[in-house]
Chain A
Amino acid sequence: MIKGKVHKYGSNVDTDVIIPARYLNTTDPDELATHCMEDIDADFVKTVRPGDIIVADDNFGCGSSREHAPIAIKASGIACVIANTFARIFYRNSLNTGLPILECPEAVAGINNGDTVEIDLESGKITNVTTSNSFQAKPFPPFMRELIEVGGLVNYAKAKVGR
Chain B
Amino acid sequence: MGQTITQKILAAHCGKESVEPGELITARLDLVLGNDITAPIAIREFEKIGAQTVFDKDRVALVPDHSTPNKDIKSAELVKIMRDFARKHNITHFFEIGKMGIEHTLLPDEGLTLPGDAIIGADSHTCTYGALGAFSTGVGSTDLACAMALGETWFKVPEAIKFVYYGKLPKWVSGKDLILYTIGKIGVDGALYCSMEFTGEAISELDMAGRFTMCNMAIEAGGKNGIIEPDEKTLAYIKPRAKRDFKLYKSDSDAVYKNVIEIDVSKLEPVVSFPHLPENTKPVSEATHIKIDQSVIGSCTNGRIEDLRVAASVIKGHKVHPDVRLIVIPATQEIYLQSIKEGLTEIFVEAGGAVSTPTCGPCLGGHMGVLAGGERAVSTTNRNFVGRMGHTKSEVYLASPAIAAASAVLGRIGSPEEL
Evaluate whether A21 and B364 lie within 8 angstroms (CB atoms) in the complex, with A89-B138, A92-B140, A154-B49 already known: yes
Contacts of B123 in A (CB 8 A): 64-65
Contacts of A39 in B (CB 8 A): 386-387, 392
User: What is the bound-complex CA distance between A152 and B143, given in angstroms?
Assistant: 10
Contact for B386 among A16, A24, A64, CB less than 8 A: A16
Contacts of B38 in A (CB 8 A): 65-67
Q: Which of chain B's residues 71-118 have a Cβ closer than 8 Å to chain A?
A: 71-72, 74-75, 78
Which residue of chain A is the closest to B44 with respect to CB atoms?
Answer: A27
User: What is the bound-complex CA distance between A93 and B188, given in angstroms?
Assistant: 19
User: What is the bound-complex CA distance between A39 and B219, given in angstroms?
Assistant: 22
Interface bracket on A: 35 or more
Q: Are B189 and A58 in contact (CB under 8 A)?
A: yes
Contact for A12 among B154, B219, B277, CB less than 8 A: B277
Evaluate whether A89 and B140 lie within 8 angstroms (CB atoms) in the complex, with A21-B364, A25-B75, A161-B150 already known: yes
Contact for A87 among B40, B44, B192, B388, CB less than 8 A: B192
Q: Are A21 and B366 in contact (CB under 8 A)?
A: yes
Q: Are B143 and A92 in contact (CB under 8 A)?
A: yes
User: What is the bound-complex CA distance between A59 and B72, given in angstroms?
Assistant: 33
Query: Is B139 part of the binding interface, using a Cβ–Cβ cutoff of 8 Å?
Result: yes
Q: Are A157 and B149 in contact (CB under 8 A)?
A: yes
Which residue of chain A is the closest to B147 with respect to CB atoms?
Answer: A157
Contacts of A11 in B (CB 8 A): 189
Contacts of A96 in B (CB 8 A): 140, 142-143
Q: Which of chain B's residues 30-44 have a Cβ closer than 8 Å to chain A?
A: 37-38, 40-41, 44
Evaluate whether A59 and B189 lie within 8 angstroms (CB atoms) in the complex, with A25-B72, A89-B124, A162-B50 already known: yes
Q: Are B150 and A157 in contact (CB under 8 A)?
A: yes
User: What is the bound-complex CA distance between A162 and B236, given in angstroms?
Assistant: 44
Query: Is B222 part of the binding interface, using a Cβ–Cβ cutoff of 8 Å?
Result: yes
Pairs A–B under 8 Å by Cβ, sample size 15: A16-B386, A20-B365, A24-B67, A25-B75, A39-B387, A59-B189, A62-B188, A63-B385, A68-B41, A88-B193, A96-B142, A153-B142, A153-B143, A157-B49, A157-B149
Contacts A66-B37, A93-B142, A157-B145 known; 18 new A-B pairs at CB < 8 A = A11-B189, A17-B387, A21-B364, A21-B366, A24-B364, A27-B40, A27-B41, A39-B392, A63-B385, A66-B140, A87-B222, A88-B192, A89-B138, A93-B140, A96-B143, A97-B140, A141-B24, A157-B149
B residues near A, CB below 8 A?
24, 37-38, 40-41, 44-45, 48-51, 66-67, 71-72, 74-75, 78, 121-124, 126, 138-143, 145-146, 149-150, 154, 188-189, 192-193, 219, 222, 224, 277, 364-366, 383, 385-388, 392
